[in-house]
């Protein structure tokens, strides 16, 4: 069984074979070596098991399958030389981070960070079902071609849906990842999107406030009275015959927030068939602007990506 990932804008196709390996997690017993002083548990394990994804290792810790000196700990536990770790890991998951060579549109890169202009239709990171053909697979190849012994692990500090295109910021070191993740938590990073939505929005600008939660039975996310608070600002850029081009700024970062909020006000995003949008070649949602402070210099970095041509 194979899968073909194709992007119309970039113009490439990658054929990969879907792995069919079923394996049992193995127990690892580790004594933290000399020289390690108060490093976060998750960071130590990321470096120890370089081929495994951050998402998977965090899930293992969260599920209670990692003990430090005989006690189940969380990912923030500080470990030092002499600490004894016991953890159950599925080593076959290393295939999720296999380097793969295919085109990347790089908007910015230095020693600490890299910003990619992600195509629509491509996953950012491997999942349990799709372990190849993702942005992280390509980044693993790009960042480690000429590094010899030094392994650079790309660290996601935010995500874009598979169907969404645009700017994606990735850290190239644990330190940069920690700093940028804090900036995102503190909401000091400004993200803006452009979207083509159904119908004509009357107001020039406004704010959408509607709590978002998960509906367990349907296994989907939507507006839910007991959900988490969510806020999106919008600004109309252009009114067309039967659609509106808008700029969206997510103040909060809930799952599928922009899609849910646009549908909630009666203007689903074109291509979001599930929420009432018409069929389209792609979801008409693009991460067009990113403003953040560099994790080393502290200087403001403002990057932009051109809006796709949506008919």
The angle formed by the CA atoms of residues 143, 296 and 38, to the nearest 5 degrees, is: 85
Higher pLDDT, 126 or 178: 178
Q: By C-alpha distance, which of 190, 158, 197, 208 is closest to 289?
A: 190
pLDDT tens digit sequence for 75-122: 999 999 999 999 988 765 655 467 888 899 999 999 999 999 999 999
Rounded to an integer, the average pLDDT of 121-141 is 84
Quote the Cα angle for 55-58-63, to 5°: 125
Chain mean pLDDT for the chain? 86
* Alpha-carbon distance values, 12 to 5, 24, 108, 162 (Å): 8, 36, 21, 16
d(CA 140, CA 143): 5
Q: Which fold has domain 96-188?
A: Pseudouridine synthase (3.30.2350)
Say what the pLDDT of residue 92 is. Answer: 57
- CB 148: neighbour CB atoms within 10 A? 6
Domain boundaries, the chain: 26-93, 96-188, 190-289
| Residue 56, pLDDT above cutoff 90 | no
Answer whether 26-93 and 190-289 agree in fold.
no
DSSP assignment letter at 228: B
What's the pLDDT at 148?
58
Alpha-carbon distance of 52 to 89, in angstroms, equals 9
* Strand (E) or helix (H) holding 104: none
pLDDT at 13 (0 to 100): 34
**Residue 269 carries which DSSP code?**
B
The dotted CATH code for 26-93 is 3.10.290.10
Angle among Cα 45, 135, 23 to the nearest 5 degrees reads 50
Do 241 and 311 form a contact (C-beta atoms < 8 A)? no
Query: Residue 3's pLDDT band (boundaries 50, 70, 90)?
Result: very low
Assess whether pLDDT exceeds 50 at residue 214. yes
173 contacts: CB under 8 Å, gap ≥ 6: 112, 152, 155
Q: What would the mean pLDDT of 168-188 be, rounded to a whole number? A: 89
Is residue 13 within 8 A of residue 102, CB to CB? The reply is no
Tokens 């349907």 sit on residue: 218
Catalytic residue among 161, 203, 226, 242: 161
Distance CA 236, CA 76 (A): 42
For the domain made up of 190-289, the CATH class stated in words is alpha beta
For the question of residue 242 being annotated catalytic, the response is no
CA-closest candidate to residue 155, choices 132, 123, 179: 179
Q: How many Cβ atoms sit within 10 Å of the Cβ of residue 122?
A: 21
CA distances from 299 to 114, 170, 251, 295 (A): 15, 17, 22, 8
Residue 8: per-residue pLDDT: 34
Range ranked top by mean pLDDT from 15-24, 142-151, 293-302: 293-302
């Amino acid at each position: 069984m194979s899968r073909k990932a194709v992007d119309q804008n970039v113009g490439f196709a990658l054929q990969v074979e879907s792995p069919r390996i079923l394996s049992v997690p193995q127990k690892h017993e580790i004594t933290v070596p000399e020289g390690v002083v108060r490093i976060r548990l998750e960071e130590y394990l990321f470096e120890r098991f370089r081929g495994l994804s951050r998402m998977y290792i965090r899930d293992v810790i969260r599920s209670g399958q990692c003990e430090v000196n005989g006690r189940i700990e969380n990912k923030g536990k500080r470990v030092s030389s002499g600490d004894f770790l016991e953890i159950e890991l599925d080593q076959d998951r290393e295939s999720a981070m296999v380097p793969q060579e295919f085109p990347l549109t790089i908007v910015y890169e230095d020693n600490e960070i890299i910003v990619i202009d992600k195509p629509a239709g491509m996953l950012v990171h491997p999942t349990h079902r799709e372990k190849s053909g993702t942005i992280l697979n390509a980044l693993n190849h790009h960042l480690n071609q000429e590094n010899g012994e030094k392994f650079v692990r790309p660290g996601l500090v935010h995500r874009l849906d598979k169907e969404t295109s645009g700017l994606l910021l990735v850290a190239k070191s644990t330190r940069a990842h920690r700093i940028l993740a804090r900036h995102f938590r503190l909401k000091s990073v400004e993200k803006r999107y452009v979207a083509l939505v159904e119908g004509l929005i009357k107001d020039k600008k406004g704010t959408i406030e509607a709590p978002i939660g998960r509906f367990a039975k349907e296994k989907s996310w939507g507006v839910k009275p007991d959900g988490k608070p969510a806020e999106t600002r919008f600004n109309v850029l252009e009114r067309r015959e039967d659609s509106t081009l808008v700029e969206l700024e997510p103040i909060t970062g809930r799952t599928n927030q922009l899609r849910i909020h646009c549908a909630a006000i009666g203007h689903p995003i074109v291509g979001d068939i599930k929420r009432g949008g018409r069929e389209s070649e792609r979801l008409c949602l693009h991460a067009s602007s990113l403003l953040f402070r560099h994790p080393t210099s502290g200087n403001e970095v403002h990057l932009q990506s051109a809006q796709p041509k949506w008919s």
